[in-house]
Amino acid sequence: MAERRIVESLVKERSAWPHEHVSLVLLVIDGVGDVRHPDFGMRTPLEAAQTPNLDELAPRSALGRVMPVDYGITPGSGPAHLGLFGYDPREVEIGRGVLEALGLDMDLKTGDVAARANFCTISGGLVVDRRAGRPATQVSAEKCKLLQQELGRIEDVEVIVQPGKGHRFAVLFRGPGLAEGVSDTDPHENGQPLHEAISLRPEAEKTARIVGEFQRRAEEVLSGHEPLNGILMRGIAERPSLPGMQERFGLRAATIATYPMYRGLAKLAGMELLQTGPRVADEFRCYAESKDDYDYHYIHVKATDEAAEDGDFDRKVSAIEEVDRHLPIIVEKMPDALAITGDHSTPCCMKLHSWHPVPLLLHSPRCDAGGQRRFTEHECSEGSLGIFLAMHLMSLLMANAGLLDKFGA
Amino acid sequence: MAERRIVESLVKERSAWPHEHVSLVLLVIDGVGDVRHPDFGMRTPLEAAQTPNLDELAPRSALGRVMPVDYGITPGSGPAHLGLFGYDPREVEIGRGVLEALGLDMDLKTGDVAARANFCTISGGLVVDRRAGRPATQVSAEKCKLLQQELGRIEDVEVIVQPGKGHRFAVLFRGPGLAEGVSDTDPHENGQPLHEAISLRPEAEKTARIVGEFQRRAEEVLSGHEPLNGILMRGIAERPSLPGMQERFGLRAATIATYPMYRGLAKLAGMELLQTGPRVADEFRCYAESKDDYDYHYIHVKATDEAAEDGDFDRKVSAIEEVDRHLPIIVEKMPDALAITGDHSTPCCMKLHSWHPVPLLLHSPRCDAGGQRRFTEHECSEGSLGIFLAMHLMSLLMANAGLLDKFGA
């Protein structure tokens, strides 16, 4: 807390900024970090990739590695991004229901409560299949439509049902007096009855009642729709209320991301969402075109993580090379401070997120360039920034752009 | 605190472990870290030693340096080991009396209170020699036997007297209602009267009374035994009650160590003590033979520290080479995660423990090997793990062995 409070207290008035248009850029190459493994020739995708533009930038930049949450902790995308946005992910929590709703591009407002939900098959009072025979997405979407029509309002609470993939969907409750702290109705195994939605704290009593009523009436609506004749809910959570980029750092912040979850996370941090085409080049051009309208751009590239989660080393290399190819679109606009990193590592040999610190390149005219030759895991380990918690990166970006006053006299 | 609570909350159920028998190894080469000094040709013992087996392992491992307690803090063996076992040594304290008792191989139970004690010479109501003329160990041991016979019980408290070296011994008090918080009876200089044992907090009143009674009656028993005609006590402390390896991390943990103090420290952390022969090869074979019976082995090698405390560079080099020679006994069993480090540095030029961060080698198939060539202080400084507090090592071992769930979604 201490360091962040200090940084927030040192943010300069806009009138004292070094120039009128300041541009900070956080380029997140999802899951970019990797490890050397014998199955992949003991080199990482960053080491294997041809990256002439990063190679040109690295010797003039400060390198280091950021640890998303803490030593040995493998983060989900939520905590990983919170860290990069300058929050302490060990303190700020985003519930599963909220993350699911963000991932389905739902518009969450303060006070909203969201749940992850499944269609399930109920027989003789028991959940006999928690996934309702794994229906096609289209089949589930029709049932979601039906639930939305019949159960759009309970008491004074608006209910929004959003289909997901297969048997999955999300439910959002919007109305006065809602709060998280309600137990799952999901029994978490087949052959059990549904659980009752119980309030785990006094503030959540109304929410538990509404959730329970939705659960009960959904079964009535779905009666006869076997195998999708029931629902179950879990991860019932409130949209966290975070101080945003403007409030904390005085920055007009914008997001360039194609996937709903990342757009949703950025929105939680008080960023505006920009319209972008699907390719890396589109995203980078979106930055170039909107540079002067914002002080901070978060740009998210997804393909690296997808390749790594498939264990596809060559595709991860290609995804890195695509980023490198278009990097001049950003660099030529000369942002005042540019950070290139990932939200976490995703080693191809693991096909999973991991705890390994993520390579970081920080470029500004006063970045403390260390002369390392390439933006790779191990050159970054030897860089001038060392290994540090992701939550500190925001302070470094602000400092490099000249936006922080001196601390003390 | 936060990070450790997070890690503990992420420990996988045993049924979700990557395979049935997981083996974590912490090999502690006591005092292994050193510094380059002109008196020793500006190279450290690790740099001077012939270590073909470590040299083979290093490029395939992640290197770094661990700081036992904090910047500039030279740890005793107690705090140094607490850190390696995953506790924060800045928060958990082990009193001197307890450490002394552990070092004399006494069996401490929860609620026990232990004191360091000296025989001393008393004359005219004053302590005239705090070390009673430095008697031979055998002489002291006989007096300890006498005290044990005469003073084995005070009120409902069992008293156990254990001889140490020379004038030193330990006293253990076991019974209901004991607590630490009693002042020393040792005046800490000659020519002063003994101090009274005073309770420094209400919970310690009974303990102060028992300690005072033991002190008084010991003088009666020793009357006429000049120069060993009195005792003094200091560092009166309670056995700390720590959550153990099983409770915190779900691990069946075992210790392979030949010195009582290290066995005692491991016991405080909830580890079982294994029987081992005295040589390094015996200790390593003990691991190989018991590998499948435990999830975690702490192995302690003492000779490096002893050599360094004597300022004997060549003997420290030999001790390192002995570890290296037998290392294949461990490596061939392919533990899932292997950490090789020390509890602290003991530079030969200082002949003392020091604050310098200790070299660390962490090996697993997904350790993030950095390609450094050797396990030395300065190659470790450039490794992928950076320099970090020893208390985080446990999290890294768990992560490398695949025992931790993802944090958040």
Give dist(CA A349, CA B143) in Å, integer. 65
Give the burial class of A268: count Cβ atoms within 10 A of its Cβ; 0-12 exposed, 13-18 middle, 19 or more buried.
buried
A259-318 per-position pLDDT tens digit: 989 999 999 999 999 999 999 999 999 999 999 999 999 999 999 999 999 999 999 999
Tell me the three state secondary structure of residue B376: coil
Please report which residue ranges of B269-302 form alpha helices under DSSP H.
280-290
- Which chain B residue lies closest to A378 (C-alpha atoms)? B370
Structure tokens at A32: 């970019």
CB contact under 8 Å between A381 and B370, yes or no, is yes
Give dist(CA B347, CA B352) in Å, integer. 7
Count how many pairs of residues, chain A against chain B, have C-beta atoms within 8 Å: 103
- Which chain B residue lies closest to A235 (C-alpha atoms)? B409
Mean pLDDT, residues B186-211 taken together: 96
pLDDT at B4 over 90: no
- The values of phi and psi at residue A381, to 5°, are -60, -25
Alpha carbon B309 to its chain's center: 16
Chain A residues close to B7, C-beta within 8 Å: 70, 72-73
Reported as type and span, the H/E element at residue A286 is: helix A280-290
CB contact under 8 Å between B407 and A76, yes or no, is yes
B314-346 per-position pLDDT tens digit: 999 999 999 999 999 999 999 999 999 999 999
Count other Cβ atoms within 10 Å, centred on residue B320.
26
Chain A residues close to B388, C-beta within 8 Å: 71, 387
Give dist(CA B93, CA A373) in Å, integer. 46
A164-198 per-position pLDDT tens digit: 989 999 999 999 999 999 999 999 999 999 999 99
Q: Which residues contact A396 (CB under 8 A, 6 or more apart)?
A: A337, A339, A362, A385
Q: Is the domain defined by B2-92+242-400 classed in CATH 3.30.9.10?
A: no
Chain A residues close to B369, C-beta within 8 Å: 35-36, 42
Chain A residues close to B408, C-beta within 8 Å: 75-76, 78-79, 89, 93-94, 99
**In chain B, which residues touch A (CB < 8 A)?**
2-3, 6-7, 10, 365-371, 382-386, 388, 392, 395-400, 404-409
| pLDDT for res B409 | 82
Chain A residues close to B403, C-beta within 8 Å: none
Mean pLDDT, residues A64-90 taken together: 97
pLDDT at B135 over 90: yes
| pLDDT for res A195 | 96
B12-58 per-position pLDDT tens digit: 999 999 998 999 999 999 999 999 999 999 999 999 999 999 999 99
pLDDT at A1 over 50: no
Give the burial class of A40: count Cβ atoms within 10 A of its Cβ; 0-12 exposed, 13-18 middle, 19 or more buried.
buried
ipTM of the complex: 0.89
Question: Which sequence spans correspond to the domains of chain A?
Answer: 2-92+242-400, 98-238
Query: Which candidate, B216, B232, B229, places its Cα nearest to that of B121?
Result: B229
CB contact under 8 Å between A75 and B382, yes or no, is no
pLDDT at B1 over 60: no
Q: What are the beta bridge partners of residue B170?
A: B116, B162
Reported as type and span, the H/E element at residue B215 is: helix B205-222
Alpha carbon B168 to its chain's center: 19
- The values of phi and psi at residue B112, to 5°, are -65, 145
Q: CA–CA distance from A275 to each of A101, A342, B145 (Å)?
A: 20, 22, 85
Chain A residues close to B382, C-beta within 8 Å: 381-382
- Which chain B residue lies closest to A376 (C-alpha atoms)? B370
Chosen for mutation from B384, B388, B404 (greatest number of chain A CBs closer than 10 Å) is B384
CB contact under 8 Å between A73 and B365, yes or no, is no
Minimum-distance CB partner of A74 among B383, B388, B399: B399
A192-238 per-position pLDDT tens digit: 999 999 999 999 999 999 999 999 999 999 999 999 999 999 999 99
Our CA-based measurement puts residue A116 at a distance from the nearest CA of chain B, in whole angstroms, of 12
Chosen for mutation from B1, B334, B398, B406 (greatest number of chain A CBs closer than 10 Å) is B406
Minimum-distance CB partner of B395 among A72, A93, A378: A72
Chain B residues close to A79, C-beta within 8 Å: 407-408
Residue whose tokens read 């005072």: B212
Chain B residues close to A378, C-beta within 8 Å: 370-371, 384
Q: What are the beta bridge partners of residue A192?
A: A127
Reported as type and span, the H/E element at residue B297 is: strand B296-301
Mean pLDDT, residues A18-37 taken together: 96
Chain B residues close to A386, C-beta within 8 Å: 386
What string of H, E and C letters represents the secondary structure of B38-102?
Answer: HHHCCCCHHHHCCCHHHHHHHHHCEEEEEECCCCCCCCCHHHHHHHHCCCCCCCCCCCHHHHHHH
Minimum-distance CB partner of B408 among A35, A79, A378: A79
| pLDDT for res A199 | 96
Minimum-distance CB partner of A382 among B382, B395, B408: B382
Structure tokens at A80: 């990983």
Q: What are the beta bridge partners of residue B33?
A: B345
| pLDDT for res A103 | 87
Our CA-based measurement puts residue B391 at a distance from the nearest CA of chain A, in whole angstroms, of 10
Minimum-distance CB partner of A35 among B366, B399, B405: B366
Q: Which residues contact B61 (CB under 8 A, 6 or more apart)?
A: B361, B362, B363, B367, B369, B375
Q: Tell me the DSSP string of B120-134.
A: EEEETTEEEETTTT-
3-state class percentages of chain B: helix first, strand second, coil last, to nearest 5: 35, 20, 40
CB contact under 8 Å between B369 and A99, yes or no, is no
Structure tokens at B219: 């003088």
Count other Cβ atoms within 10 Å, centred on residue A382.
17
Chain A residues close to B368, C-beta within 8 Å: 35-36, 356, 377
